[in-house]
């Protein structure tokens, strides 16, 4: 066959040869809605957990869209949305200075302390 093909897309065969463009300049420059990150509380008693993102024109629409996209089957009882641009995050490459203190302070963990086996409920 002249074109490379693979079933890589999960949904079936698509061409993947070098002639297939991937990420170059945007095809059309157009103002898109901002990107929101979506967090869902699966049920009462659990934390909100990040589930994905979506584009929406404003906060209210983002909540409505999040309900349709991420909770079609009782996946949640509460949704948070926040604009992705408003999130400040640590970076994996800054791993050592950011998270080192928890590594060298072993006395913060209960297993650091030796207690005789005959002491109950501890």
Partner 1 sequence: MSAPALDRPLDEPLDEAALQARFDATVAAEHRIEPRDWMPEGYRKTLIRQIAQHAHSEIIGMQPEGDWLLAAPSLRRKAILLAKVQDEAGHGLYLYSAAETLGADRADLTDKLIERRQKYSSIFNYPTLTYADVGVIGWLVDGAAICNQVPLCRSSYGPYARAMIRVCKEESFHQRQGYELLMTMMRGTPEQQAMVADAVDRWWWPSLMMFGPPDTDSPNSAQSMAWGIKRHSNDELRQRFVDMTVPQAEVLGVTLPDPDLALDPATGRYRFGAIDWSELQRVISGEGPCNDERIIRRRAARDDNAWVTEAATAYADKHA
Which positions touch partner 1 (CB under 8 A)?
1-16, 20-23, 26-28, 30-33, 35, 37, 50, 52-55, 57-58, 61, 68-69, 72-73, 84-85, 87-94, 96-98
Gap between the Cα atoms of 94 and 86, Å rounded: 20
| Min separation Cβ 46 and partner 1, Å | 17
| Min separation Cβ 23 and partner 1, Å | 6
For partner 1, the closer of residues 26 and 110 by Cβ is 26
| Min separation Cβ 43 and partner 1, Å | 16
Q: Is 18 exposed, middle or buried (0-12, 13-18, 19+ CB in 10 A)?
A: exposed
For partner 1, the closer of residues 85 and 122 by Cβ is 85
Gap between the Cα atoms of 2 and 4, Å rounded: 7
In the block, tokens 């404003």 appear at: 58
For partner 1, the closer of residues 86 and 117 by Cβ is 86
Maximum distance among all Cα pairs of the chain, rounded to whole angstroms = 75
| Min separation Cβ 117 and partner 1, Å | 35
Gap between the Cα atoms of 70 and 39, Å rounded: 9
For partner 1, the closer of residues 2 and 118 by Cβ is 2
Gap between the Cα atoms of 114 and 73, Å rounded: 47
């Amino acid at each position: 066959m002249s074109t490379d093909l693979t079933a890589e897309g999960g949904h079936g065969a698509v061409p993947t040869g070098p002639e297939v463009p991937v990420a170059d300049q945007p095809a059309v420059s157009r103002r898109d809605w901002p990107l929101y990150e979506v967090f869902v509380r699966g049920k009462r008693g659990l934390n909100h957990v990040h589930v994905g993102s979506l584009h929406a024109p404003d906060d209210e629409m983002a909540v409505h869209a999040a309900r349709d996209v991420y909770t079609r089957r009782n996946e949640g009882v509460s949704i948070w949305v926040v604009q992705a641009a408003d999130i400040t995050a640590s970076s994996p490459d800054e791993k050592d200075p950011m998270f080192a203190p928890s590594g060298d302070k072993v006395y913060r963990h209960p297993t650091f302390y030796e207690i005789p086996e005959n002491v109950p409920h501890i």
